[in-house]
Amino acid sequence: MALVAKSSAYGAEPQVADPPAEASKDNPKDEASHRLWIQPVTNGFASRRITCGFYFPANDDQGVVDTALNAARHVDAAIVDWQLRPKDTGPAKEIITKLVKDDEGAGGRLRLIIVYTGERGIDGECAKLLAHLQGEGVNDLASHDEGRALTGKRIRIAFANKPRAVKPEEELTGPGARPISWGKLPAFVLEQYSFLAQGILQSFALKAIGAVREDTHHLLSVFDNTLDAAYLAQRAGIGSPGDAEDMMAGLFTSELACSIQDRGITKEVLGPWGAIHALKARDPAAKLNVKKYSDPDGVYDGVVVAPQNGPTTITTTAPALRKLVQIGLDESKLTLVTERVMELKRQFFADDEQAKQSMSKFARMASLVREADGPRRLTKEAIHLTGGVVVRSRAHQGENSTETILLCVQPGCDAVRLRDVTSFPFCKLVRDDKHFDLVLRIDGTDKTFKMNRLPRDLIMHSFIPNGSRQIVTPTSYKQRLRFKSVDKVFWEFVAELRFPESQHFTTLLVGKFNRVALNGSEWLRLQNPS
């Protein structure tokens, strides 16, 4: 938490003592209303185990924007005084603009900015900030909360008033004022930050991050310096020292998973009782025919309608969907054909188009660890050609162009320690909207593909490895990463599969190598049509 406030903007230094009950000759009303009272603020944050840092620039401080940006860049919430100089909102606007753009350049992050000011009419000031940001090219923010807040995909900027130093009973009402007392400022910050957590998955992510933070000292004790020599021995004793780095990264992430699971956060937020709070059933409800139903224990009572005369159906009302979220779809008791299962999934969305977009995005998240068009910023140091990497190449002939998309199926051990030109096998990915294995985001659009898993159609391309790293690395070109094959074709990085998914596609390919040969018994083959 960072708090950037004026110091001598109104001829007054930041105050530690309690604020005055009324104005005096030495404490004019205007001056007192703009002071920051440190003690109640620090006490309030400390009581919630939140660390709060302060930065008080002088009126003649020329580096106020850069210093404030450095202070606020790595915190979850920043509180900025609206007038860091007398009657001047310019520095605050510049700080906020640079923070927003800095986050965009880093691939986005959850960001809360509180504008804390003695000025009333904050709805008008918020509108001025929105106009300023739009003039600076920030166009994804919208006005909320009666014009006192701006909200974007990952950011919220909320205005609040410092309490009146005198005659608080004369405080303005309505959207023009929102007085937050010094002691209640921490609660206000937490309330506003909660608006950034939209839905159960973001709530889970925030709680998981909190668990990891709580476990920081435990994690440091696990990876203590008594293990340094053991790591060095591991690294020195294997053919590829880089494998030791990957091993330690895996060990560390497994400890992070334990920090999350040991606190029961997964069950608390994503479990049966937490998940149902995110449910928004489609209206009107649909009726889905059931293929097979055998439920003597009545597990699906309230979900399935099974009249003596007529088809057995599921009516997708909110209570029925809540129960399905809690208990799932047990095919030994309740079976639907594939088309009805897909239709059932769509009932959790307002319409079919929203369902398609959301499930496509979820499929990408579940399958891919990195994407060229994904939210995570890519660096060429993190990417090398190996099994699970998807690439594409585009060829132009006159006005016509063709695109080839390939999935690398090179085993990981054959993609490292390379000293000479090395061949890599690829499976072709073919566009298919009905039967597909993979969803990829191509030029801003989700597209579905099926892998050609026939061994006879494997495609081989050769690459020259990076001499020092002994792997095939990409180069950057127009904000894209590209591999160059020895035949001088550029293969643009599209995505990288998560390891289990990469193994799954490899298994599909290997399965085709195990088919019965032509000299096998045809009669015996026909006894098992599968």
Q: Which helix (H) or strand (E) holds 314?
A: strand 313-315
251/312 same-domain check: no
186/239 same-domain check: no
User: How many separate domains does the chain show?
Assistant: 4
CA distance 189 to 160: 10
CA distance 372 to 377: 8
Residue 320 has pLDDT above 60, yes or no: yes
Angle, nearest 10°, between helix axes 90-105 and 64-72? 40
480/406 same-domain check: yes
Q: What is the pLDDT of residues 62-93, one digit of tens each?
A: 788 888 888 888 888 888 888 877 788 898 99
- Of 34-48, 66-80, 102-116, 191-205, where does mean pLDDT reach its minimum? 34-48
251/283 same-domain check: no
Residue 324 lies in a domain: yes
Listed in sequence order, the DSSP H helices in 307-377 are: 318-327, 338-346, 352-367
Q: Which helix (H) or strand (E) holds 117?
A: strand 111-117
CA distance 327 to 297: 14
Top mean-pLDDT range of 78-82, 112-116, 474-478, 482-486: 482-486
Listed in sequence order, the DSSP H helices in 195-241 are: 200-214, 216-222, 228-236
CB 336 within 8 A of CB 344: yes
37/168 same-domain check: yes
Q: Can you spell out the DSSP letters for 409-426?
A: ---GGGSSS--S-EEEEE
Residue 169 has pLDDT above 80, yes or no: no
Residue 525 lies in a domain: no
162/53 same-domain check: yes
* Owning domain of residue 240: 201-272
489/469 same-domain check: yes
Averaged pLDDT score across all residues of the chain: 84
Instruction: Give whole-number Cα distances, 432 to 386, 437, 438, 445, in Å.
Output: 25, 9, 10, 14
Q: What is the pLDDT of residues 257-305, one digit of tens each?
A: 999 999 888 988 888 888 888 888 898 999 999 999 999 999 999 999 9
CA distance 308 to 300: 17
Q: How many residues does the chain have?
A: 530
Give the pLDDT mean for 165-174.
Answer: 59
Strand partners for 463: 422, 485
CA distance 50 to 160: 20
493/504 same-domain check: yes
Q: What is the pLDDT of residues 376-426, one digit of tens each?
A: 767 767 899 999 999 999 887 667 788 999 999 999 889 988 999 999 999
For the chain, percent of residues with pLDDT exceeding 90 = 45
